[in-house]
Amino acid sequence: MSKTTAELPFTELAERAAQIARLEQDDSRVRGAVNDVYVRELPRKEDWSFLIVSSALTCADEYRTGNAAVVNTLGTVFTLSSDTAIDGTFTGRKIKFATNPNVYVITSAAGTTGGTFTPPLSGTANIRSSAYSIFKDTYSLPLDFDRFPKNGGLLLYQGGRITAIPEVAVQNYYADYRPSPTTPEKCRLVMVGTDSLPQVELTPPPNDPYVLGYEYLRKLVPLRESTAGFAAITAGGTAVSGSGGTTRFTEATSGWYFRIDAFGTGEESEWYRVASVTHNSSLTLAVAFGLSGATSAAYTLCAAPQMPAKMHAALLYGAVINLMADQNDPNAQLYQQKFSEVVVEARKLYKTRIYSQPIESVFEDYNYRR
Protein backbone atom coordinates (compact mmCIF):
# COMPACT_ATOMS: atom_id res chain seq x y z
CA MET A 1 0.00 0.00 0.00
CA SER A 2 1.22 3.47 -0.80
CA LYS A 3 -0.71 4.93 2.11
CA THR A 4 2.17 5.20 4.54
CA THR A 5 0.15 5.63 7.75
CA ALA A 6 -3.03 4.24 9.28
CA GLU A 7 -4.76 7.60 8.80
CA LEU A 8 -8.13 7.75 7.10
CA PRO A 9 -8.26 10.84 4.87
CA PHE A 10 -11.52 12.78 4.78
CA THR A 11 -12.73 11.51 1.40
CA GLU A 12 -12.11 7.88 2.31
CA LEU A 13 -13.97 8.35 5.59
CA ALA A 14 -16.95 9.75 3.69
CA GLU A 15 -16.90 7.05 1.01
CA ARG A 16 -16.69 4.22 3.51
CA ALA A 17 -19.44 5.76 5.67
CA ALA A 18 -21.68 6.07 2.62
CA GLN A 19 -21.06 2.45 1.66
CA ILE A 20 -21.88 1.13 5.15
CA ALA A 21 -24.99 3.32 5.42
CA ARG A 22 -26.03 2.31 1.90
CA LEU A 23 -26.01 5.83 0.52
CA GLU A 24 -24.57 7.30 -2.64
CA GLN A 25 -21.00 8.49 -2.18
CA ASP A 26 -21.91 11.98 -3.35
CA ASP A 27 -24.88 12.26 -0.96
CA SER A 28 -24.52 15.70 0.63
CA ARG A 29 -25.33 14.32 4.07
CA VAL A 30 -22.31 12.05 4.24
CA ARG A 31 -19.52 14.61 4.44
CA GLY A 32 -21.56 16.69 6.83
CA ALA A 33 -21.98 13.66 9.08
CA VAL A 34 -18.22 13.06 9.17
CA ASN A 35 -17.52 16.68 10.01
CA ASP A 36 -20.21 16.78 12.70
CA VAL A 37 -18.46 13.96 14.53
CA TYR A 38 -15.01 15.45 13.89
CA VAL A 39 -15.70 19.06 14.86
CA ARG A 40 -18.40 18.72 17.51
CA GLU A 41 -19.13 15.27 18.88
CA LEU A 42 -15.77 13.58 19.39
CA PRO A 43 -13.87 16.64 20.76
CA ARG A 44 -16.54 16.98 23.48
CA LYS A 45 -16.18 13.39 24.64
CA GLU A 46 -13.03 14.20 26.56
CA ASP A 47 -10.33 16.79 27.18
CA TRP A 48 -8.07 15.13 24.63
CA SER A 49 -4.34 15.65 25.08
CA PHE A 50 -3.77 16.13 21.34
CA LEU A 51 -6.03 19.20 21.41
CA ILE A 52 -4.25 20.89 24.33
CA VAL A 53 -2.33 24.09 23.61
CA SER A 54 -0.34 26.19 26.10
CA SER A 55 -0.45 29.98 25.97
CA ALA A 56 -0.31 33.11 28.09
CA LEU A 57 -1.72 36.63 28.14
CA THR A 58 -0.31 39.85 29.55
CA CYS A 59 -2.61 42.05 31.60
CA ALA A 60 -2.79 45.83 31.22
CA ASP A 61 -1.61 47.95 34.14
CA GLU A 62 -4.21 49.96 36.03
CA TYR A 63 -4.08 53.70 35.26
CA ARG A 64 -5.11 56.29 37.85
CA THR A 65 -2.89 59.37 37.43
CA GLY A 66 -4.41 62.73 38.41
CA ASN A 67 -8.12 63.47 38.55
CA ALA A 68 -11.08 63.26 36.18
CA ALA A 69 -14.08 65.46 35.42
CA VAL A 70 -17.34 64.88 33.52
CA VAL A 71 -19.34 67.91 32.46
CA ASN A 72 -22.71 66.76 33.76
CA THR A 73 -25.04 63.84 34.30
CA LEU A 74 -26.02 62.02 31.11
CA GLY A 75 -22.74 63.22 29.64
CA THR A 76 -20.35 60.90 27.78
CA VAL A 77 -17.19 63.03 27.71
CA PHE A 78 -14.52 62.91 30.41
CA THR A 79 -11.48 65.13 30.91
CA LEU A 80 -8.38 64.17 32.86
CA SER A 81 -5.91 66.48 34.56
CA SER A 82 -2.94 67.71 32.54
CA ASP A 83 -0.47 65.24 34.03
CA THR A 84 -2.16 62.25 32.38
CA ALA A 85 -1.15 60.45 29.20
CA ILE A 86 -3.67 58.11 27.62
CA ASP A 87 -3.92 57.07 23.98
CA GLY A 88 -5.97 54.98 21.57
CA THR A 89 -4.96 51.74 23.30
CA PHE A 90 -7.27 52.75 26.15
CA THR A 91 -10.32 52.35 23.91
CA GLY A 92 -12.37 49.43 25.20
CA ARG A 93 -10.99 49.66 28.72
CA LYS A 94 -13.25 50.57 31.62
CA ILE A 95 -13.27 53.65 33.80
CA LYS A 96 -14.61 53.92 37.34
CA PHE A 97 -15.04 57.33 38.99
CA ALA A 98 -14.59 57.38 42.77
CA THR A 99 -17.70 59.53 43.22
CA ASN A 100 -19.97 57.39 41.04
CA PRO A 101 -20.90 53.73 41.69
CA ASN A 102 -21.02 52.58 38.07
CA VAL A 103 -18.44 51.32 35.59
CA TYR A 104 -18.21 52.81 32.08
CA VAL A 105 -16.54 51.67 28.87
CA ILE A 106 -14.14 54.05 27.13
CA THR A 107 -15.22 54.42 23.49
CA SER A 108 -12.46 56.80 22.34
CA ALA A 109 -9.44 58.71 23.56
CA ALA A 110 -9.24 62.38 22.62
CA GLY A 111 -5.60 63.37 22.77
CA THR A 112 -3.84 62.39 25.98
CA THR A 113 -6.14 63.89 28.59
CA GLY A 114 -9.66 62.70 27.89
CA GLY A 115 -12.14 60.84 25.76
CA THR A 116 -15.67 59.49 25.61
CA PHE A 117 -17.43 56.65 27.36
CA THR A 118 -20.66 54.67 27.39
CA PRO A 119 -23.32 54.52 28.75
CA PRO A 120 -24.02 58.15 29.66
CA LEU A 121 -23.13 59.16 33.21
CA SER A 122 -25.87 58.09 35.59
CA GLY A 123 -26.87 59.53 38.95
CA THR A 124 -27.79 63.02 40.01
CA ALA A 125 -24.36 64.45 40.76
CA ASN A 126 -22.03 66.00 38.19
CA ILE A 127 -18.37 65.02 38.42
CA ARG A 128 -16.08 68.00 38.71
CA SER A 129 -12.90 66.55 40.19
CA SER A 130 -12.73 62.94 41.15
CA ALA A 131 -10.20 60.20 41.59
CA TYR A 132 -10.69 57.48 39.00
CA SER A 133 -9.37 54.15 37.82
CA ILE A 134 -8.95 52.94 34.24
CA PHE A 135 -8.55 49.21 33.92
CA LYS A 136 -8.87 46.35 31.46
CA ASP A 137 -10.73 43.28 32.61
CA THR A 138 -11.39 41.53 29.27
CA TYR A 139 -8.71 39.92 27.08
CA SER A 140 -8.77 38.22 23.69
CA LEU A 141 -7.97 34.53 23.47
CA PRO A 142 -6.53 32.65 20.46
CA LEU A 143 -8.95 32.32 17.55
CA ASP A 144 -8.78 28.53 17.76
CA PHE A 145 -9.74 28.57 21.45
CA ASP A 146 -12.61 26.19 22.19
CA ARG A 147 -12.62 25.83 25.97
CA PHE A 148 -10.54 25.44 29.08
CA PRO A 149 -9.94 21.87 30.28
CA LYS A 150 -12.23 20.64 33.03
CA ASN A 151 -11.52 22.53 36.27
CA GLY A 152 -9.24 24.79 34.23
CA GLY A 153 -8.74 28.52 33.96
CA LEU A 154 -5.83 30.90 34.20
CA LEU A 155 -2.68 30.61 36.29
CA LEU A 156 -0.64 33.37 37.88
CA TYR A 157 2.99 32.42 38.48
CA GLN A 158 4.44 34.95 40.91
CA GLY A 159 7.08 34.87 43.59
CA GLY A 160 7.70 31.19 42.96
CA ARG A 161 4.04 30.38 43.62
CA ILE A 162 1.27 29.32 41.26
CA THR A 163 -2.15 30.81 41.95
CA ALA A 164 -5.17 29.44 40.11
CA ILE A 165 -7.74 31.84 38.64
CA PRO A 166 -10.56 29.36 38.00
CA GLU A 167 -13.25 29.66 35.37
CA VAL A 168 -16.65 30.08 37.01
CA ALA A 169 -20.25 30.16 35.82
CA VAL A 170 -21.74 33.52 34.86
CA GLN A 171 -23.94 33.76 37.93
CA ASN A 172 -21.00 33.09 40.26
CA TYR A 173 -18.82 35.55 38.38
CA TYR A 174 -21.21 38.48 38.72
CA ALA A 175 -22.08 37.59 42.30
CA ASP A 176 -18.44 38.21 43.18
CA TYR A 177 -17.66 40.94 40.62
CA ARG A 178 -15.61 43.78 42.09
CA PRO A 179 -14.52 46.76 39.93
CA SER A 180 -11.55 47.57 42.17
CA PRO A 181 -8.32 46.48 40.47
CA THR A 182 -6.09 44.07 42.36
CA THR A 183 -4.91 40.49 41.77
CA PRO A 184 -7.56 38.59 39.73
CA GLU A 185 -9.29 35.73 41.49
CA LYS A 186 -11.86 34.38 39.00
CA CYS A 187 -12.56 34.41 35.28
CA ARG A 188 -15.35 33.67 32.84
CA LEU A 189 -15.46 33.08 29.09
CA VAL A 190 -17.36 35.39 26.76
CA MET A 191 -17.95 35.13 23.02
CA VAL A 192 -18.02 38.48 21.23
CA GLY A 193 -19.68 39.53 17.98
CA THR A 194 -21.24 37.57 15.17
CA ASP A 195 -17.99 35.62 14.76
CA SER A 196 -18.10 34.55 18.43
CA LEU A 197 -14.53 35.65 19.10
CA PRO A 198 -13.35 34.17 22.41
CA GLN A 199 -12.42 36.45 25.31
CA VAL A 200 -11.82 35.99 29.01
CA GLU A 201 -13.06 38.41 31.65
CA LEU A 202 -11.33 38.78 35.03
CA THR A 203 -12.57 39.79 38.46
CA PRO A 204 -11.22 41.70 40.22
CA PRO A 205 -9.62 43.49 37.26
CA PRO A 206 -5.81 43.31 37.25
CA ASN A 207 -3.91 46.22 38.76
CA ASP A 208 -0.51 45.17 37.41
CA PRO A 209 0.80 43.76 34.10
CA TYR A 210 0.58 40.17 35.30
CA VAL A 211 1.33 37.38 32.85
CA LEU A 212 -1.30 34.65 33.13
CA GLY A 213 -0.58 31.24 31.72
CA TYR A 214 -3.21 28.77 30.62
CA GLU A 215 -3.91 25.64 28.68
CA TYR A 216 -6.86 25.33 26.34
CA LEU A 217 -8.46 22.91 23.94
CA ARG A 218 -8.28 24.10 20.36
CA LYS A 219 -11.13 24.02 17.88
CA LEU A 220 -10.99 21.65 14.97
CA VAL A 221 -12.01 23.07 11.61
CA PRO A 222 -14.17 21.09 9.15
CA LEU A 223 -12.28 18.73 6.86
CA ARG A 224 -12.20 19.68 3.17
CA GLU A 225 -11.43 18.17 -0.22
CA SER A 226 -10.73 19.35 -3.75
CA THR A 227 -11.42 17.56 -7.05
CA ALA A 228 -11.48 20.44 -9.53
CA GLY A 229 -9.77 19.90 -12.89
CA PHE A 230 -7.44 17.03 -13.72
CA ALA A 231 -4.01 15.80 -12.65
CA ALA A 232 -0.99 14.15 -14.23
CA ILE A 233 1.92 12.27 -12.68
CA THR A 234 4.57 9.86 -13.94
CA ALA A 235 5.27 6.46 -12.42
CA GLY A 236 7.98 6.80 -9.76
CA GLY A 237 7.68 10.59 -9.75
CA THR A 238 6.68 13.02 -6.99
CA ALA A 239 5.65 16.04 -9.10
CA VAL A 240 1.93 16.38 -9.79
CA SER A 241 0.72 18.85 -12.42
CA GLY A 242 -2.84 20.04 -12.82
CA SER A 243 -4.80 20.86 -15.95
CA GLY A 244 -8.26 21.86 -16.98
CA GLY A 245 -8.25 25.49 -15.91
CA THR A 246 -10.16 24.90 -12.68
CA THR A 247 -7.45 23.04 -10.79
CA ARG A 248 -7.08 24.41 -7.28
CA PHE A 249 -4.14 22.65 -5.69
CA THR A 250 -3.55 25.66 -3.43
CA GLU A 251 -6.66 24.71 -1.46
CA ALA A 252 -4.48 21.92 -0.09
CA THR A 253 -1.60 22.25 2.33
CA SER A 254 1.33 20.11 3.39
CA GLY A 255 -0.02 17.01 5.10
CA TRP A 256 -3.09 16.60 2.88
CA TYR A 257 -3.50 13.45 0.83
CA PHE A 258 -3.61 12.91 -2.95
CA ARG A 259 -4.92 10.06 -5.05
CA ILE A 260 -5.74 9.28 -8.66
CA ASP A 261 -9.36 8.14 -8.46
CA ALA A 262 -9.06 5.54 -11.22
CA PHE A 263 -6.71 3.47 -9.04
CA GLY A 264 -9.28 3.00 -6.28
CA THR A 265 -11.80 4.69 -4.02
CA GLY A 266 -13.07 3.94 -0.53
CA GLU A 267 -11.08 1.16 1.14
CA GLU A 268 -9.22 0.60 -2.13
CA SER A 269 -7.84 4.16 -2.21
CA GLU A 270 -4.11 4.59 -2.79
CA TRP A 271 -3.21 7.76 -0.95
CA TYR A 272 -0.01 9.79 -1.08
CA ARG A 273 0.82 12.48 1.43
CA VAL A 274 1.42 15.97 0.01
CA ALA A 275 4.84 17.44 0.84
CA SER A 276 4.30 20.92 -0.60
CA VAL A 277 2.03 22.97 -2.84
CA THR A 278 3.63 25.65 -4.99
CA HIS A 279 0.90 26.62 -7.43
CA ASN A 280 -2.75 26.02 -8.33
CA SER A 281 -1.51 23.40 -10.77
CA SER A 282 1.67 22.14 -9.10
CA LEU A 283 2.32 20.07 -5.99
CA THR A 284 4.91 17.60 -4.72
CA LEU A 285 4.28 14.27 -3.01
CA ALA A 286 6.23 13.12 0.04
CA VAL A 287 7.09 9.75 -1.58
CA ALA A 288 7.40 8.47 -5.12
CA PHE A 289 4.17 7.55 -6.89
CA GLY A 290 4.12 3.75 -6.85
CA LEU A 291 1.49 3.16 -9.52
CA SER A 292 1.51 3.57 -13.27
CA GLY A 293 1.51 7.14 -14.50
CA ALA A 294 -1.64 9.11 -15.33
CA THR A 295 -2.51 12.06 -17.52
CA SER A 296 -5.65 14.24 -17.43
CA ALA A 297 -6.94 12.01 -14.66
CA ALA A 298 -9.66 12.66 -12.10
CA TYR A 299 -8.05 13.05 -8.69
CA THR A 300 -8.88 13.86 -5.07
CA LEU A 301 -7.02 16.07 -2.64
CA CYS A 302 -8.26 16.01 0.94
CA ALA A 303 -7.33 16.78 4.50
CA ALA A 304 -6.60 14.18 7.15
CA PRO A 305 -8.16 14.44 10.64
CA GLN A 306 -5.95 16.29 13.10
CA MET A 307 -6.09 13.56 15.71
CA PRO A 308 -4.25 10.28 16.29
CA ALA A 309 -4.86 7.66 13.61
CA LYS A 310 -6.16 5.24 16.26
CA MET A 311 -9.18 7.54 16.65
CA HIS A 312 -10.07 7.82 12.98
CA ALA A 313 -12.31 4.76 13.17
CA ALA A 314 -14.45 6.65 15.69
CA LEU A 315 -15.09 9.28 13.02
CA LEU A 316 -16.21 6.57 10.62
CA TYR A 317 -18.46 4.83 13.14
CA GLY A 318 -19.88 8.08 14.47
CA ALA A 319 -20.83 9.25 10.98
CA VAL A 320 -22.40 5.87 10.21
CA ILE A 321 -24.46 6.03 13.43
CA ASN A 322 -25.89 9.43 12.50
CA LEU A 323 -26.58 8.47 8.90
CA MET A 324 -28.28 5.23 9.90
CA ALA A 325 -30.30 6.95 12.60
CA ASP A 326 -31.67 9.35 9.98
CA GLN A 327 -32.91 6.30 8.07
CA ASN A 328 -34.20 4.44 11.15
CA ASP A 329 -31.71 1.68 10.39
CA PRO A 330 -31.55 -0.76 13.36
CA ASN A 331 -27.90 -1.52 12.57
CA ALA A 332 -26.99 1.86 14.09
CA GLN A 333 -26.76 0.12 17.48
CA LEU A 334 -23.98 -2.15 16.23
CA TYR A 335 -21.89 0.86 15.20
CA GLN A 336 -22.69 2.62 18.47
CA GLN A 337 -20.94 -0.25 20.21
CA LYS A 338 -17.95 -0.01 17.85
CA PHE A 339 -17.78 3.76 18.38
CA SER A 340 -17.84 3.36 22.17
CA GLU A 341 -15.06 0.77 22.07
CA VAL A 342 -12.77 3.10 20.13
CA VAL A 343 -13.51 5.98 22.52
CA VAL A 344 -12.80 3.81 25.58
CA GLU A 345 -9.41 2.79 24.17
CA ALA A 346 -8.64 6.36 23.14
CA ARG A 347 -9.26 7.58 26.69
CA LYS A 348 -6.54 5.23 27.93
CA LEU A 349 -4.05 6.85 25.56
CA TYR A 350 -5.11 10.45 25.06
CA LYS A 351 -7.10 11.60 28.08
CA THR A 352 -5.60 14.81 29.42
CA ARG A 353 -3.88 14.66 32.78
CA ILE A 354 -4.04 17.85 34.83
CA TYR A 355 -1.54 20.15 33.14
CA SER A 356 0.03 18.34 30.23
CA GLN A 357 3.48 19.83 30.93
CA PRO A 358 5.35 21.33 33.91
CA ILE A 359 3.48 24.55 34.51
CA GLU A 360 6.65 26.65 34.62
CA SER A 361 7.16 25.87 30.92
CA VAL A 362 3.89 27.67 30.11
CA PHE A 363 5.61 30.86 31.23
CA GLU A 364 9.16 30.29 30.04
CA ASP A 365 8.87 32.50 26.95
CA TYR A 366 7.24 35.35 28.84
CA ASN A 367 8.50 38.02 31.22
CA TYR A 368 6.24 36.94 33.99
CA ARG A 369 6.11 38.70 37.35
CA ARG A 370 8.01 37.00 40.14
Give the chain's residues under pLDDT 50.
Answer: 1-2, 356-359, 365-370
Q: Strands across the sheet with 77-80, in order?
A: 127-130, 68-70, 77-80, 114-118, 103-109, 94-97, 132-135
**pLDDT at site 288:** 95
Classify residue 158 as exposed, middle or buried by CB count within 10 Å of its CB (0-12, 13-18, 19+).
middle
**pLDDT at site 361:** 52
**pLDDT at site 333:** 92
**pLDDT at site 123:** 78
**pLDDT at site 370:** 34
Rounded-to-integer distance, Cα 301 and Cα 279, Å: 14
Interval 280-339: pLDDT, tens? 899 999 999 999 999 999 999 999 999 999 999 999 999 999 999 999 999 999 999 999
3-class DSSP state of 214: strand
Interval 219-234: pLDDT, tens? 999 999 999 999 999 9
